[in-house]
Amino acid sequence: MTLRAVVSIDVDTLASIYKGTGCYHKGGYTYAELEIGIQNIIQFFKKYECPVTLFMVGTDFQHPQNIQPVQDLLSAGHEIGNHSMHHEQGFRFLSSQQKHAEIVDMDEICREKVGIKPVGFRAPGWNIADDTLPILKELEYLYDSSVFPTFFMPVLKSSHWFSMRAKSRLDRSTMGQNSYMIAPLMPYRTSAVTLGRRGENGIVEFPITVSPLIRFPFTATFYLLFGERIYSGILNELIRQNLPIHFQFHLSDFVDYTTNEFADQMPSGNQGVYVPKALVLPLDSKIRAFRKIMDKIATHYVFVRMDHWSLEI
């Protein structure tokens, strides 16, 4: 039996999350973290012949220097997904009209700038609810990838609420409705009314991978926090049960924020905002860690793109 894996990356810049610029000047040229991160992403995944789905924020297409890196992604065989226009962290609590606009506006600027209409969506912070489903169906999306089926959701929501205490109520919210804690673990077609259950008349859902029994998150963010030993054990169990993998990264996993150029833009936990470990580790350390887990995944799995796989479900 051939096991399949998908890799996705949330392209969340400092501007998206912390309202920084995500840029620095050197030698008369402006370097953007998105440009740097995309170069590193292309190089990193080339070894594994791994096509990646990058969920991008529409406002990043407003900066001319970001367009060529995105074109480079497409030329390398990767996919662009919709991560909303403005990365509103409280996406789940927006009105239907606001959600529709966030999705459509990103569609339009992506088509205008790089000639691609995304067919997959991920809500910022996986913060989605069932009322987004009819919008995605209306806009003819093939799939969603916002459901995070972890039993740890209440703990993660509470932690995020506390760590983002300097932000607004909407920015302090994260993850989807609580019913998604028991959503299926494998990619599935949803029902017509909920993203959290199988059915026949919905769209395809690519849930974030969690461990089979206790549903512990299997993502790059948690891998950096808890280390190779724990995650090798989870991976072995996924393989033993013939479960597919959806391994999720962020742009910050492929940028070195410890350099002097980003020093004046870095957030601090003392400011009442969450600072992931990816922002404080040197790039070399992150790449070494990710190589270890990706080498193991590549030994047992074949990598596919989400848009391609969704056509078979």
Q: Where along the chain do its domains lie?
A: 3-310
Say yes or no to pLDDT of 29 above 60: no
Contacts of residue 272, Cβ cutoff 8 Å, sequence gap at least 6: 163, 164, 165, 166, 167
pLDDT at position 97 is 97
Residue-level pLDDT at 20: 64
**Predicted confidence (pLDDT) per residue in 283-295, tens digit:** 999 999 999 999 9
Which superfamily does CATH assign the domain made up of 3-310 to?
Answer: Glycoside hydrolase/deacetylase (3.20.20.370)
User: Which tokens sit at 270?
Assistant: 């003392």
For position 56, what pLDDT does the model report?
96
Query: Greater confidence, 260 or 103?
Result: 103
Q: How far is CA 74 from CA 41, 52, 56, 70, 83, in A?
A: 12, 10, 13, 6, 17
- Residues 55 and 82: their CA atoms lie apart, in Å, by 5
Quick one: pLDDT band at residue 141, thresholds 50, 70, 90? very high
d(Cα 105, Cα 65) in Å, to the nearest integer?
20
pLDDT exceeds cutoff 80 at 19: no
Contact 43, 53 (CB under 8 A): no
